A and B are shown apart, each in its own frame.
Chain A
Amino acid sequence: MSGFRLDEGGRVDRAAPLTFTFDGRRLSGYRGDTLASALLANGVHLVGRSFKYHRPRGILAAGAEEPNALIQVERGGARTEPNIRATQLDLYDGLQVASQNRWPSLQRDIGAVNDVANKLFPSGFYYKTFMWPRSFWERLYEPFIRAAAGLGRAPDAGDPDTYASRYAHCDVLVVGAGAAGIAAALSASATGARVMLVDEQAGIGGWLLAEPSARMDGEAPDAWLEHARAELASRNVVVLSRTTAIGHYHDNFVVLSERLSDHLANPGEGMPRERLWRVRAGQVVLAQGALERPLVFGGNDRPGVMLAGAARTYLHRYGVRVGDRVVVVTSDDSAYGAALELAATETVVSAIIDVRDHPPTEVVERARHAGVEVLAGWTVTETQGRQRVHLVKAEPLAGGPSRTFHCDAVLMSGGWTPSVHLYSHARGKVAWRDDLGAFVPGEPVAGVRTAGAGNGSFALADAVAEAAEAGAAAATNAGFASDPASFAVEAGDHAAFGSRLVEPAATARRGRAFVDFQNDVTAKDIGLAVREGYRSIEHVKRYTTTGMATDQGKTSNINALALAAGALGSDIPAVGLTTFRPPYTPTTFGAIAGNHADETFDVQRKTAIDSWAEENGAVFEPVGQWRRARHFPQAGEDMDAAVRRECRATRTTAGMFDGSTLGKIEVIGPDAAEFIHRLYTNPILKLGVGRCRYGIMLGEDGFIRDDGVIGRLADDHFHVTTTTGGAASVMASLEDYTQTEWPDLDVWLTSITEQWAVIGVTGPKAREIIAPLIDDIDLSPDAFPHMSVREGHLRGMPTRLFRISFSGELGFEINVPSRFGRAVWEAVLEAGEPHGVCPYGTEAIHVLRAEKGFIITGQDTDGTVTPRDAGLEWAIGKKKTDFVGMRSLSRPDMLADGRKQLVGLLTDEPSVVLEEGAQIVADRNIEPPCVPIGHVTSAYYSDAAGRSIALALVEDGRGRMGDTLHVPMPDRTIPVKVTDTVFYDPEGERLHD
């Protein structure tokens, strides 16, 4: 093991060495390491190249805020994932990772030429630099930019992993399991409230893990955490680690993303990779902690330059020294702790450069006593080193001779930013605290409390007391009266926090001083944006892209804001913060998709007869959520041939189809007839028992919404069908009218769509085929005429038998209880086989109905079509004074000339089938832009007509009978003749046999 790992200390297991590879190089670490801590233990700081300038970049932080150390994780095949933060990736044996955004290698990267040419890429460069000459954009600039854009490499195959998803409910959710969060959870759980405690890190403890000298109830952090863990477990507190609260939504709906297997070398069989928790919490305590800010000075992005707090975390949590010789540059007391603790190891601390003129005397004295030089009122102006810092230059802020220091690491601290992300998601309004140089939660949000460093209470004792108070108050509010637990807290040796924000403009004196590391935004870029006229911080953000990378500006927002405020001559609270939006950290699509993946991506509904269709070679098509058999090709047949055969058989002998998907509603009650009469255009009151009527339903706007068959089973009892796609919306609309418009009508509705399987038998032989099966219904034409319904039995099975037709042939629709649907289907098929019955699918249904000019709502209508437009005026009850939508039919627009009307179209060439949706023009010679006068709604080859047929909506269509119109297509313009909509058996003789 290298010399950067201490012999003892930290929470890594030195008895469990692990090997991993980084860019193919074999390295070792320990169980308990993150990739970042293991790399640092191996002396590796250079881990990637930056997005825009391809500058060498190292590890900046130790947690979720890391902007630089993004790596590609390789787990074989499609299990490759870019942009994983090395600081959050738990090491496992055999882990393979690669650096990103470099070619051919991390050390020698061609793209680094961008850095030399950096003047070409100022903020907003994509709006300016590549504009001229114009013709270069498509051929040169765009392909180049596309090739260069993006970080890492996306997998090129489907995600082989599964993701779990669940809801959860608790009385109190505590986000963040540092000392504060634990104190809150212990206080909240004391009196029986259901509590959840979640943390994004691998275990509980948070910052306490980097404060070994702190004491909680007299115990060292490790021992206290052990006791706390046991206590929480005994109270059934759900403790989730590696779990990020990614969003805080209305009414304390908090979404958590739990990483289940990325830290395991060999996840078990069936192990989901992540689990999304959709938590509804009564009360929420946010104890998210704080994130350290970088200082903005020239060369602050060089590998080896990192946050001081991160260096402490690596030292105490992982037993890793981040360098042999370090320089500390700070505006906050806390960095002195990092300096002195490192100085207590083999590491030499060359100097503490404090940008404050008057840092607290006690803090300074302590450093000097330890033999560390302190330069107050100085700043670093420049760093040097090709792939890692080896020298810094510093100078007094007030001016004066500079000094240089050799080093292999620079620790910086610009103070701490409370994490107010979730509070902001929950619509909390942050407030500026000048004494902290930070925004903190302002007015409380109902049901949400903030505590600890995330609330601006940085001192351990303050944070713990505040959080205990918040936890108890949350439990009390949730109905479990509780008092705050009390803890004896002794801060660690170097726990001092204290800073004001130092103007980044003061330290960004020379060179390129980075604000947003991930998006390569410098202090100068922010200034340029303001000089170019951007005033709103939201605009400065978007123009410079600061804060818009995958880290969402966790380390950069305040510095960028301070720079913008300075350039605008305003102050920070006046400029305001950009909006925080979920997710807190990047979240996999797998976790977000959750249950909606693979075969449950969406519901696929199948009828009771679907299995027969599948076994008999059906080709299916989706119709809404249903899958329906489209046609049943026989050997050697394509769809056209199959559909022609199915249509011909139906017109010459008989066909049968599965009509089960049609919506069905049972309407019962003394006012059932009156209700249906008001909802449909047709007259219903006098419909006889046992009779059916075709019905059209309009919206109040007069446009066709749905159609179906209304069958009267008894005076107060109807069986109403709807289209397949309209079933749910028609049901909802009917319920609306019964509940809210006409609650005085006594009528009740029940959806019976799937109670009944529907087997349609249609064609000249239909009666002969079903007759032997029907027990007790007289099928003779006189006893059971077209548009009738009977209840009876089919070989003992209850059935509702309709005599109706959508094909223009003699037709029956047999309704039987769904669970017997397939068995009855097979019985009908068997009975029909001697007659040559032919199963047909939806495509043949469409052709057969189009031959008769029957519309499909939603295909031949589009929400702007009235019954008159569709040629269905005959279906409007002439004596009716009102029905839904009737009044709209006499509005001036509805009566005006020029409305589109449904007509038939015949192509001059009988074999040419038009494209559905194709536009229609009157004059083939007009120049574009030509105004279409209509469009094709249905088009098929008709076996019965021996030619192609089409339906279309055409302006004043019925006034153009016999006219020739034109359908322009990409390769030619097709002449068509306007005709009636009925192409077969116009007198309807075949229906009444």
Chain B
Amino acid sequence: MLLIPCPYCNEKRPEIEFAYAGEAHLVRPSDPATTSDEAWMTFLYLRDNPRGEHAERWRHIHGCGRFFNAIRDTYEDRFITTYKAGEPRPSVEGDA
């Protein structure tokens, strides 16, 4: 069971307090009505599935309740960093 650093609580908390919430930094089109079918389909269904660093949304659902973002290594299942919702994706060691 992982320890996940919550950027709001400022401490590492056990994985069972958290819920995964999908890929991070997907932006809902600001005007869906004028968004093309293609662009809307991409927003709905196309997701990255990298082996390695992945930007993800998590929620400290059984803690402070906040959604936040994380860079997780999907191969090692290891959290590289976490940051508050709304903050840009940080560059982490190993990034090109």
Interface residues, chain A, with chain B CB atoms under 8 Å away = 249-251, 253, 278, 280, 427, 700-701, 732, 735-736, 739-741, 743, 881-882, 886-888, 891-892
| Given A741-B28, A887-B33, also A250-B44 (CB < 8 A) | no
B88 on the interface (CB 8 Å rule)?
no
Bound complex: CA A736 to CA B19 (Å):
12
Contact for B3 among A250, A427, A732, A740, CB less than 8 A: A250
**B1 / chain A contacts, CB cutoff of 8 Å:** 249-251, 253, 278
Closest Cβ–Cβ distance, residue B78 to chain A (whole Å): 8
Contact: B3 with A881, CB < 8 Å? no
The interface centre, meaning the residue of B44, B57, B76 with most chain A CB atoms within 10 A of its CB, is: B44
Identify the 6 closest CB pairs spanning chains A and B, nearest first.
Answer: A887-B32, A251-B3, A250-B2, A253-B1, A739-B67, A740-B67
Bound complex: CA A14 to CA B64 (Å):
60
Contact for A882 among B12, B32, B41, B76, CB less than 8 A: B32
Nearest neighbor of B69 in chain A, beta-carbon distance: A740
Bound complex: CA A735 to CA B57 (Å):
13
Contact: B66 with A739, CB < 8 Å? yes
Nearest neighbor of B24 in chain A, beta-carbon distance: A740
Contact: B85 with A887, CB < 8 Å? no
B90 on the interface (CB 8 Å rule)?
no
B63 on the interface (CB 8 Å rule)?
no
| Given A250-B3, A732-B61, A891-B37: 20 more A-B contacts, CB < 8 Å | A250-B1, A250-B15, A251-B1, A251-B2, A251-B3, A251-B12, A280-B14, A735-B59, A736-B67, A739-B67, A740-B57, A741-B28, A882-B33, A886-B33, A887-B33, A887-B35, A887-B40, A888-B44, A891-B41, A892-B37
Bound complex: CA A882 to CA B28 (Å):
12
Bound complex: CA A229 to CA B67 (Å):
48
Contact: B28 with A700, CB < 8 Å? yes
Bound complex: CA A689 to CA B77 (Å):
50
Closest Cβ–Cβ distance, residue B17 to chain A (whole Å): 13
20 A-B Cβ contacts within 8 A? A249-B1, A250-B1, A250-B15, A251-B1, A251-B3, A280-B3, A427-B76, A700-B28, A700-B44, A732-B19, A735-B65, A736-B59, A736-B67, A740-B67, A882-B31, A886-B33, A887-B40, A888-B40, A891-B40, A892-B37
Nearest neighbor of A446 in chain B, beta-carbon distance: B78
Bound complex: CA A743 to CA B86 (Å):
9
Bound complex: CA A736 to CA B15 (Å):
19
**B67 / chain A contacts, CB cutoff of 8 Å:** 735-736, 739-740
B9 on the interface (CB 8 Å rule)?
no
Contact indicator per residue, chain B 76-90, by CB within 8 Å of chain A (1) or not (0): 111000000110000
**B59 / chain A contacts, CB cutoff of 8 Å:** 732, 735-736
**B15 / chain A contacts, CB cutoff of 8 Å:** 250
**A253 / chain B contacts, CB cutoff of 8 Å:** 1
CB within 8 Å of A: which of B1-59?
Answer: 1-3, 12, 14-15, 19, 21, 28-29, 31-33, 35, 37, 40-41, 43-44, 57, 59
Closest Cβ–Cβ distance, residue A734 to chain B (whole Å): 12
Closest Cβ–Cβ distance, residue A256 to chain B (whole Å): 14
Bound complex: CA A701 to CA B86 (Å):
24
Bound complex: CA A891 to CA B1 (Å):
41
Closest Cβ–Cβ distance, residue B25 to chain A (whole Å): 11
| Given A250-B2, A700-B44, also A740-B65 (CB < 8 A) | no
**A278 / chain B contacts, CB cutoff of 8 Å:** 1
Bound complex: CA A732 to CA B28 (Å):
18
Closest Cβ–Cβ distance, residue A166 to chain B (whole Å): 14
Contact: A736 with B21, CB < 8 Å? yes
Nearest neighbor of A738 in chain B, beta-carbon distance: B67
**A249 / chain B contacts, CB cutoff of 8 Å:** 1
